[in-house]
């Protein structure tokens, strides 16, 4: 369990100011995070953690895989058993196309979801207990910084920036 220092701010601007001061004072950008109950993405970010998402690539890959699965499903199952179709084509392009279309959509959806869950590091409950505060639900913006050894320095910077320090971790109610 890593040691972290938490402070709650009233609005995202002051939280971001505090984050910049922390980084200027030597904190690693990857160790400083901001948590809020609303997305504040349009007002700029301090760390570059929102860059470099691969979700679109995975979506595309999922779509192609889905199309291939759809085609394979129709083609190989039609050829696996000698059903007589009375002169109709065994793998008609239109109907194969329809099945491929739907499977493409399904593949794209699943891969996009999977990649999103991976990149957002969801499906883990422990960070909520260790690195979160319920004051976020009331509209506050939480700034969290890893504090191996520099805890006092971070605390004073956060206090000076206007944050209310939170002593305890997320409590079980």
- Helices 55-80 and 93-119, packing angle to 10 deg: 140
Nearer to another protein, 76 or 152 (CB): 76
Q: What would the DSSP string read from start to end of 20-66? A: HHHHHTT--GGGEEEE-SS--GGG--SSSTTS---HHHHHHHHHHHH
Q: Mapping DSSP to helix (H, G, I), strand (E, B) and coil, where does residue 143 land? A: strand
**DSSP result, 125-138:** -HHHHHS--GGGGG
- By CB under 8 A, the residues from 129 to 158 that bind another protein are 131-132, 134-140
Half-sphere exposure of 7 (CA within 13 A, CB side): 29
Nearer to another protein, 103 or 157 (CB): 103
Within a 13 Å sphere around the CA of 142, how many CA atoms are in the beta-carbon half? 21
161 is an interface residue for another protein by CB under 8 A: no
Min dist CB 119 to another protein, Å, is 5
Element (H, E) at 67: helix 55-80
Q: Which is nearer to another protein, 152 or 169 (CB)?
A: 169
The binder of another protein chosen from 3, 25, 29, 120 (CB under 8 A):
120
96 scored as a contact of another protein (CB under 8 A): yes
Per-residue binding letters, 64-83, with another protein (x by CB under 8 A): ------x--xx--xx-xx-x
Binding positions for another protein, rule: CB under 8 A: 8, 10-11, 33-41, 45, 47, 49-50, 53, 55-56, 59, 70, 73-74, 77-78, 80-81, 83-88, 92, 95-96, 98-99, 101-103, 105-106, 108-110, 112-113, 116-117, 119-128, 131-132, 134-140, 173
């Amino acid at each position: 369990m890593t040691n972290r220092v938490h402070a709650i701010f009233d609005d995202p601007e002051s939280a971001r100011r505090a984050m910049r001061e922390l980084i200027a004072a030597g904190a690693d950008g990857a160790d400083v995070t901001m948590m809020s109950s609303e997305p504040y993405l349009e007002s700029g970010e301090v760390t570059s953690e929102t860059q470099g998402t691969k979700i679109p690539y995975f979506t595309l890959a999922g779509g192609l895989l889905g199309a291939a699965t759809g085609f394979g499903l129709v083609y190989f199952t039609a050829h696996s058993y000698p059903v007589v179709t009375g002169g109709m084509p065994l793998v008609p392009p239109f109907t194969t196309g329809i099945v491929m279309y739907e499977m493409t959509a399904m593949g794209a959806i699943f891969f996009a979801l999977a990649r999103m869950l991976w990149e957002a590091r969801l499906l883990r409950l422990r960070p909520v207990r260790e690195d979160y505060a319920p004051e976020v639900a009331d509209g506050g913006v939480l700034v969290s910084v890893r504090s191996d050894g520099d805890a006092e320095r971070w605390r004073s910077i956060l206090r000076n920036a206007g944050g209310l320090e939170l002593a305890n971790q997320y409590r079980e109610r």
